[in-house]
Structure formats: C-alpha cells, structure tokens
Amino acid sequence: VTIERESGLAASHVATTFDDFYASTARRTLSLAYVLTGNWGDAEDLVQDAYAVAAKRWAEIGSYDDPSAWVRRVVLNRSVSRRRRLQREALAVVRLGNRTDERVVDDDPMDPVFWAAVRRLPPQQSRAVALFYVNDLSVEQIARVLACAEGTVKTHLSRARTTLGRRLQMEDES
Amino acid sequence: MSDQFALVDARGRAAATAVRRSVAARPLPAAPEPSRAGWMRPAMVAAAVVLLVVGLVAVTRRENAPTNDPAALRFLAGDLPAGWTPVSTKDVGVQHGPDPLPGFSVLYGAPDDPTAPAVLLSWVDPDLPLDQRPPSLGFGFLFVATDVHQFDVQGRTAGCGTLQVGSLICGVDTVHGFVQVRSSGLSFGELADLVDTIEFTSGPRLAQAALPHGLSLLFAGDSGSVEASGMGNSDSAGVASVIYEGPQGQYGDLSTGWLDEQELAFGAFFGTWHSFTIDGDPAFWTSADSDSFVQVILLRDRRAFTLRLVGDLATATAMVDSVRRATDREWVTIGSAALPEESPNTTGTAPEATADAAPFPTLDPAVTVTDLRVDQTIVENTPDDVSLSVRLPEGEFGGVSVAMIGDHYALRTTGGPGGGGNVDQTVHLTPFGISTLPGASTAKGVVVTTGGSGAATLRVTGTGGIRYLVDLVSMPNHPTFRFAMVALPAGSVVRADVIDAAGNVLATI
C-alpha cells in the first residue's frame, strides 16, 4: 500500500485504506481548519466531520485522484458556514450581555492576530490565504481546490495581502 | 506594495510554520466513526447554540405580502455617523449563512410585540433519516447558561439554566426526541411547570390550559424554512439587508422586511425591549447592558426596519429614522464592492515547510523539580453547576466552571486576574479528557475531566520547576464525574500529566 504523503495536493493517488488516508493527511487538514476557525476544538470538529463523511463515502472518494483535495474543500466550505453562524451568534450573545469576542495572545508564535485578520477577509480570500500559507499550495493547486481560475486566485491573494497589510499595520500601531 | 506583500508573506509563513509545529505535537484524534451518540460534540454544541441564540422561526404568511418585488425592500440609512459606510447588500429571498436546518419550532407570545413574555420550543424529529437530520439540539445551552439545574420530567432527564435576567432555557429528553425550551419574561418555576406539560401532536406543544395569560400560539412549523423571520438575523431570506462598517471596523446592519412576515414576538429572546415612537411610528429598542450594542425596530409603511449597531441609541434611532429607498445603482454598487477585481500581483511560490518543534517551553535541566500540592477552590452555584479555581503561591490565574445535566457537561472559563477567553472545546473523552484553555491573554489553564475512577491527580509542571499537584474532585450531583484544573501564567506550562494514586502517568500533554 502506498500512502499519500502530506505535501500538498498529491500528483497522483494510489488507492489506500481510509485509516491510512486519515493518518497521512489529517494533520495538514487540521492545520488548515485551525487557522480558519481560531481554536483547536472547532478545528478538530471540522476535521472529524469532513473525514466522517469521507469515511462514509470512501468507496467513491477513495477512488478520486486526490481525496485530500475533496476533504480540504469540505473543511473550507464548512468553516465559512461556521464563521457566519458564529458572527450571528456573537451578535446575539452581545445582546445577551455575554460578549464572546475572539481574544488573542500577542506572544503566541502561531500569531493568532494574523489568523484572526485572515478570518475577517471575504471567504474566498480567506480560503486562498489559508491554503497558500498553511498547506503550501501553489496558485495552480489552490485554483483546483477552490474550483476557480488561477487568475482569480491571484486576485484573491493580492487583495488579501493588501487588506492584511493594512489591518496588521493598524493592529501593530494600536 | 511589494514591501508590504513581503512583510505579510513573512508573517504568514512564520505563523503557518508555528501552526504546523503545534499540529505535529498534538495527538491526532481517532479516525472518525459514524456514530454521534455519547458525549456532546462541538458540532452539536455549535448547532444547538445557533438554534438557541439565533433561532430560525419560519414565517409562512407570504400570502399577505404586498409585493414580491425585491426592490420594494431595498432601503438604506440616509444619515450615517461619520466614518461609517455600507459594505454589502443582500436582497430578500437570498439566504446567507448556513444551510437551513430542518428543525421544528413552536412560538408562543403576543402578536407583534417583543416586549411581552414568549416561549419557543425547538425540536428535531428523531425519525428523520440520518442524512437529513441536523445535530440534536441536546444540552448545548450548558455552554452559555448559568445556574444550571437538573430535574426530571415524567421520569426523563431535563435541565434549565439562565441566559440573562428574565431569559431562561431548558431542555428535556422526551421519548419523542429532545425538546429545547426558551422563555422570556417567565420565572424558573413558571417555565419548569410548562416544560412538564409538553405533549406531542405533530411536533411538541404546550398544554393550552397551562399557558400563562397573554401567551398564544403564534407559529408552529419548519424552523429551517428559507422563509425565516428576519428578527435578529440579517442573513435570513425573509429580509433585505445592508451591512455597515464603522471607522474602527464596528459592525452594523439594517434589515428590511414586510411587517406581515416579521415575527416580532420572536424578538423577545434577543433582549429586554422598550417601546417608543419615531416620528409617530411604533418602534422598539433594546441594548446589551454592558455594551454599546443597540437594536432598534421601526414599523413604518407596512415594513419592519431592524437596525443592529455598535453605537448608542440616539445614533441608531437617527439612522433608522433616515431610511430611504436605495436606487438600483446604489444597491448593486454596494453589493459588488465585497469582491473587487484588481490585477494580480503574486508569484504563487509555495514556501518551504520547516521542522517541527515542541509547542511548550522546555524545562531547564539545571532547575530542580519540586512537587507542590495545592487545593482547588470550588464554588457550588448549584449541585449541577460549579466554579473552580486554584490559588498558587504566585497568584490566581483564572478559573473554569463546569455545568452538567445527565452525562452531558460543559466547561466554561470564568476569568480571574489572568483568565477569560474561550473554552477549548476539544472533545473530553472518558475516561480521560485533558485540554488547555486558549484565549486567555496572560494565563494558560489545564483541565482534566474523567468519568473513570483511576485518575487521582492533575500534575502541571511550570518553567520554574514546580510541579503543581491537584487532586480530582467530584461534581456534587454527579459523583462519578471528576475534574481538576490548574492555570499558570502564559508561556510557563512545561507539561501536564494525569496520574493515578500510585503515581503512574495515565495521560500527558
């Protein structure tokens, strides 16, 4: 059995067991989920849910050229849905007088300030940035995951960097 | 611009490297299993809290809609505070946010009056096929409620808690599935009595004879309908909406819906409302006590305008009073601003991954390790809801509270000198669960929970060489559930172990 390496999108895929697939790709997917959610609990849950669906449909998904791309896309989509839910929930909680602002730790090497800024980007920009930095994907590979043109990915990354640069500078100044 | 990109890239790559290091050091969760039974999972919590706090009450009175023309609900605030700007628009009929959940809701209250008492039942049909069934509502409210009490309803496990003054939430695991009950303006006793009368006739209902004066059945149906009420939900398909952003990134949104389709009684769950008038038109306002967040509803011209704003009441009132029709050009221009097109400027070169490293600081070999046994301070809010903290010689660095109903529990951070932040919702497995509490600005908490009897002590080693030992204690009303916590200043936790009475290490982070 050849196990897919955790190095971005696989150039080719050799059929393997689901457990092998999970063991060899889950950490990278978890990294992606973490930066998109901002906490390990939700990240692990996203990953668990994505892989649970993959397990259920492994006969089909395991035959894909790159099952890890499918899992990534599930995580990306669900993270955006989750973020919207949380935004609405946060508004409601504010109304309840129990603000649950995302708090960050300044000296954390994982730089939660940076990822919090990433999560505030428009969804496609946020996804592109996460795939670019965390999963080390090229523009071509990101375009495949996001099912869009490479030019669109470049636009997303360019826009995202511009916004991040401005926001992070404001954060640093404040 | 390229310098700015380089700075962002450098920061992003460094942060990504740190994330990968941290992931590499984390134990990989077990491969997922199809079953969702057992301890409450965060997905269920998220879904339950969403339904709990936001709610999705379907409104099926479309036959009364004056017109189906989306342009008839495109309104903007005519007067904006300095620095505020509209950033996106959404037409009625367009649903943003998550896919609708096929739940079932029953609303009792006073028609078109958010100031009156109200009760909302939420239920998920357990007979739905697995692939169509949303996560059970369960006891997700444990994460947000205080003063949780467990009790029995007709031999079934039930529990209630307080969301805010005057706003309660209960859950009961009936033979027909879990029913979540929220109330506004009722006492704990009144709500508990109502919970005891739940009956099933094509979904849960309260016994008519038990309804307090002034409450009547307003709605019963699919809570996941795209015809959801716009009350408290600018993403709903039932309203057109505009999102505003202030000069410091403050949030605001204006939702516009047909009055006939807005379930205003549902607003009772979103705060304590006050009625007033704006230029002679009926209006309501509410505000979070400790925050500058304010919400104003204006009923004008057969429409309900709902403004939610980080600001003061006077500003919000002026904004909502200034609503005016948007031109098609205005509406489209604002809406398209969210996805600008610009020439790309990136090479797309993927950075190199770096070697993994431990996420915690290591202990200086020259430091002598010393054990120090400390005690937890436990405050019993109720027999099902306790707060705990540990005072170390260096000080107290935060605490947690534990709420439990049946075999479901939730950990909540309770602040303290260095505490606060969000609870790590890592699944807490039996017999051992151990996790850190992130988000605190100056402290790192370590919590262990267990339903087994083997674990005896939580041992947390700090960079100063002291190993703090805290014995696990039992939940008053749930003696088989035991827990312990230690919080240290951020960056000073070297490792944490769960050990048994003989000193054997059972789990480590």
Weakest-pLDDT range from A13-27, A43-57, B360-374:
A13-27
B370 bridge partner residues? B466
Q: What is the pLDDT of residue B279?
A: 93
Highest mean pLDDT among B192-201, B352-361, B416-425, B443-452: B192-201
pLDDT at B78: 93
- Confidence band for A83, pLDDT divided at 50, 70 and 90: low
pLDDT of residue B70: 86
Among A13-22, A140-149, B209-218, B260-269, which is the least confidently predicted range?
A13-22
Q: What is the mean pLDDT of residues A162-171?
A: 80
> Which residues of chain A have a CB within 8 Å of the CB of B424?
39-41
- Do A161 and B421 lie within an 8 Å CB cutoff? no
Q: Sorting pLDDT into bands at 50, 70 and 90, what band is B452?
A: confident
Residue of B nearest to A159 (CA): B342
User: How close does chain B come to A133, measured CA to CA in Å?
Assistant: 6
* Furthest CA-CA distance within chain B: 79
pLDDT of res. A168: 80
ipTM above 0.90, yes or no: no
B378 pLDDT more than 80: yes
Q: Pick from A51, A111, A138: which is nearest to B350 by CB?
A: A138
Phi, psi dihedral angles at A82 (to 5 degrees): -65, -40
Looking at residue B38, its pLDDT comes to: 30
| Residue to substitute from A28, A91, A159, interface B, most B β-carbons within 10 A | A91
Q: How confident is the model at residue B360 (pLDDT cuts 50, 70, 90)?
A: low
In B311-404, which residue ranges form alpha helices assigned H by DSSP?
313-321, 328-336
pLDDT at B368: 81
pLDDT of residue B325: 95
Tokens 């959610």: give the residue. A37
Who wins on pLDDT, B269 or B317? B317
Lowest mean pLDDT among A61-65, A110-114, A162-166: A61-65
Which residue, among B118, B143, B123, has the nearest Cα to B133 in the 3D structure? B123
pLDDT for the residue A1:
22
Q: In what order do the strands lie in the sheet with B443-450?
A: B433-437, B443-450, B478-489, B473-475
* Per-residue pLDDT tens digits for B310-358: 888 999 999 999 999 999 889 988 875 433 322 233 333 333 333 333 3
Among A13-17, A98-102, B336-340, B436-440, where is mean pLDDT lowest?
Answer: A98-102
- Residue B345: predicted pLDDT: 31
User: Nearest CB to B19: which of A31, A47, A104?
Assistant: A31
Give me the residue from A45, A100, A164 closest to B8, CB to CB: A164
Identify the bridge partners of residue B437 per DSSP, sorted by sequence position: B445
- Amino acid symbol at B362: T
Q: Does residue A50 have a pLDDT over 90?
A: no
Instruction: Report the predicted TM-score, pTM, of the whole model to 2 decimal places.
Output: 0.55
Chain B interface test: which of A17, A110, A131, A140 (most B C-beta within 10 Å): A110
pLDDT classification of B132: cutoffs 50, 70, 90: low
User: What percent of chain B stands above pLDDT 90?
Assistant: 17
- The pLDDT score that the predictor gives to residue B256 is 93
CB-CB neighbors (< 8 A) of A96 in chain B: 53, 144, 163-164, 167, 270-271, 288
pLDDT exceeds cutoff 80 at A71: yes
Judged by average pLDDT, the poorest of A95-104, B253-262, B374-383 is A95-104
**pLDDT mean across residues, chain A:** 71
Arithmetic mean of pLDDT, B146-156: 86
- State the Cα–Cα distance between residues B16 and A115, nearest whole angstrom: 9
- Mean pLDDT of the region B480-501: 81
pLDDT at B347: 34
Confidence grade of residue B231 (pLDDT, cut at 50, 70, 90): low
The distance from CA B313 to its chain's CA centroid, rounded to whole angstroms, is 25
Q: Give the dihedral sign, CA B142/B145/B146/B150.
A: negative
Q: Is B166 exposed, middle or buried (0-12, 13-18, 19+ CB in 10 A)?
A: middle
Mean pLDDT computed over every residue of chain B: 75
DSSP B384-407: TEEEEEEEETTEEEEEEEEEEETT
Question: Nearest Cα to B100, choosing from B228, B253, B282?
Answer: B228
Between A129 and B505, the higher pLDDT residue: A129
- Asked if A149 and A171 touch (Cβ cutoff 8 Å), the reply is no
pLDDT band at B97 (very low <50, low <70, confident <90, very high): low
Q: Which of these, A109, A144, A111, A119, lies nearest to A42 by C-alpha position?
A: A119
DSSP-assigned beta bridge partners for residue B385: B382, B403
Chain A residue closest to B43 (CA)?
A45
Q: What integer is the mean pLDDT of B93-106?
A: 68
Percent of chain B with pLDDT over 70: 74
CA pair distance B83, B87, nearest whole angstrom: 12
The CA dihedral of B265, B132, B39, B145, to the nearest 10 degrees, is -10
